[in-house]
Amino acid sequence: MEVMRDRCRYAAGLRAHNRGTIGMLIIEWVRQGTILPTSSQPMKSAAPGRAACAIAACILGACETERPERPEAEARNDASVAFTGASIWDGTGGEIIEDAVLLVRDGRVAEIGTGVPPAGSKKVELDGMWIVPGFINSHGHVSGRWAQADMRDVSQRAAADLALYSHYGVTTVLSLGDEPREAFTLRDSQNAPGPDRARIFLAGPVIADKDPHEAAARAADNAVAGVDWLKLRVDDNLGTADKMPWPSVDAVLAVGAETGIPVATHIFYYDDALRLLESGSSLIAHSVRDRDVDQAFIDAILEAGVCYVPTLVREVSTFVYAERPAFFDDPFFLEAADRSEMARVSQPDYMAGAAASPLAAGYRRALKQAQRNLGILQAAGVPIAFGTDSGPPGRFPGYFEHMEFALMSEAGLSPEQILRSATSVAADCLGLEDAGTLEEGNRADFLVLEANPLDDLAATRTIRHVYIGGTEVRRK
């Protein structure tokens, strides 16, 4: 701990220099072997909020804090808004509040209950509607690829991706890899009341380097950039590629442990997931898809206190375009569908390639295995963090989240289990202390639905309004 603080103070003295200078300092620590694991003992990566002194904090000179403080920039607005008449499911697992009053002030929940709204508050009548917390996607990707083709500004393109998520009720996204640099600015400005798009947290470039020092250096660069998570990839694409070697994996986990930045891990195989749990992964970011999970796996993930992200719909995207998918005719999909992407995946050559692909056939089988494992883990009490891996080509942001709901239901989860996975559980897994539930002091990120999603999960598609920070977000 003292060694890390000394390094932080040294780096703070250099913070007037450019990021490359600081990055070289961290890389030198890597080369000295003081970040790389030095024994056969696994290096435990930190969970969210437990940093000793993040390297990003060194750059900001905040070496006595656990994580770098980003400016809140929360302009105060003392006007209160009372949302009245709806039934509220608050995400905590408590009783439904009927004919409720949800009082919002300064972008946060000020009060929730029943009775008469405070005098002077602006009233929004929602009689007969349902209010639920906004959905949290624990594994998405924000790149700007879903913006209109004529939009040139990179920041605006990334914001357009986030607006697409919010159209379908996703109010927070953990983007696990390869976001444009401008997305960091979007993150840092989202604490002002009423952002007009989903909130974003990010991981920077995905790490899959074969050389341990290069892997550690890339992780250190991401830390310097100010990421919320690190993301590494341990997969061979069904035997068609080489996996990231374990010394490189351990090097990244060591950087995560040193900086206090949690590490999300892409996996496919049981053995890899189990080893990552033992080595200090902070999040299993995909399903185990090669075999049934067993008691040893359950014990390991519960002991580690790590969450599991199913991303079932990711498998669907690998084979569904072998023919024209039925959801292309779904009015809910078509509300905000990217027509150019629809056209791309509908090209005869593309569809023929999907139909003939042995990988597609393998991933179709993997989906069934993933659903079976999801059911096993949910029954065992493993925290399931909702996530989809949406955002890359063919994986339509926002709509794919609702497809994931249906796939989770097929796996045997109840509507309430699925909704909690996408709200309070996801928030806990990502270390978001003021999101995921509608409780006093939390951010007022919520949806207004026309029907009760606890009775029928399809009611999540009956979105009437989306509010982020207490301000309604314009839907397409």
* pLDDT one-digit tens code per residue, 395-433: 999 999 999 999 999 999 999 999 999 999 999 999 999
**Given this model, what pLDDT does residue 43 score?**
41
**pLDDT digit string (tens) for 232-261?**
999 999 999 999 999 999 999 999 999 999
Q: What are phi and psi of 42, to 5 degrees?
A: -65, 145
Q: How confident is the model at residue 75 (pLDDT cuts 50, 70, 90)?
A: very low
Average pLDDT for residues 135-144, to the nearest whole number? 98
- The domain 130-202+267-472: what is its CATH number? 3.20.20
* pTM (whole model) above 0.75: yes
Query: For a pLDDT cut of 90, what percent of the chain falls above it?
Result: 82
What pLDDT does 178 receive? 84
* CB contact at 8 A, 103 and 81: yes
387 in Cβ contact with 309 (< 8 Å): yes
For residues 340 and 331, what is the distance between their CA atoms, to the nearest angstrom? 17
DSSP of 158-214: HHHHHHHHHHTTEEEEEE-S---THHHHHHHTTTSS--SS-EEEE--S-B--SSHHH
172-181, pLDDT tens digit by residue? 999 999 899 9
Q: Are 470 and 193 in contact (CB under 8 A)?
A: yes
Query: If you average pLDDT over residues 425-454, what whole number do you get?
Result: 98
Nearest-angstrom CA–CA distance, 387 and 411 = 15
- Beta strand extents in 211-285 (DSSP E only): 230-233, 263-266, 283-284
Q: Which of 20-24, 278-282, 316-320, 472-476 has the lowest mean pLDDT?
A: 20-24
% of the chain surpassing 70 pLDDT: 84
Q: What is the mean pLDDT of the chain?
A: 88
- Greater confidence, 208 or 10? 208
Strands of the 122-125 sheet, one edge to the other: 108-114, 100-105, 80-84, 122-125
Among 8-12, 51-55, 132-136, 283-287, where is mean pLDDT lowest? 8-12
C-alpha 375/C-alpha 172 separation (Å) is 25
Residue ranges of the domains in the chain? 130-202+267-472
**Residues 6 or more apart whose Cβ sits within 8 Å of residue 154:** 144, 180, 181, 182
- Residue 195 pLDDT grade (very low, low, confident, very high; cuts 50, 70, 90): confident
**Local confidence band at 79 (pLDDT 50, 70, 90 cut-offs):** confident
**pLDDT tier at 41, thresholds 50, 70, 90:** very low
d(CA 448, CA 345): 33
For residue 149, how many C-alpha atoms fall within 13 Å in the half-sphere facing its CB?
4
CA–CA distance, 180 with 145 (Å, rounded to integer): 11
Closest CA to 287 of 306, 272, 304, 308: 308
For position 32, what pLDDT does the model report? 56
Q: What is the pLDDT of residue 29?
A: 55
Query: How confident is the model at residue 36, as a pLDDT?
Result: 58
pLDDT at 44 over 50: no
pLDDT (tens digit, 9 = 90+) per residue, 216-225?
Answer: 999 999 999 9
pLDDT average, residue stretch 193-201: 91
Please, which pLDDT band fits residue 166 given cuts at 50, 70 and 90? very high
Q: How far apart are CA 396 and CA 390, in angstroms?
A: 6
- Which pLDDT value is given to residue 35? 55
Residue 194: per-residue pLDDT: 75
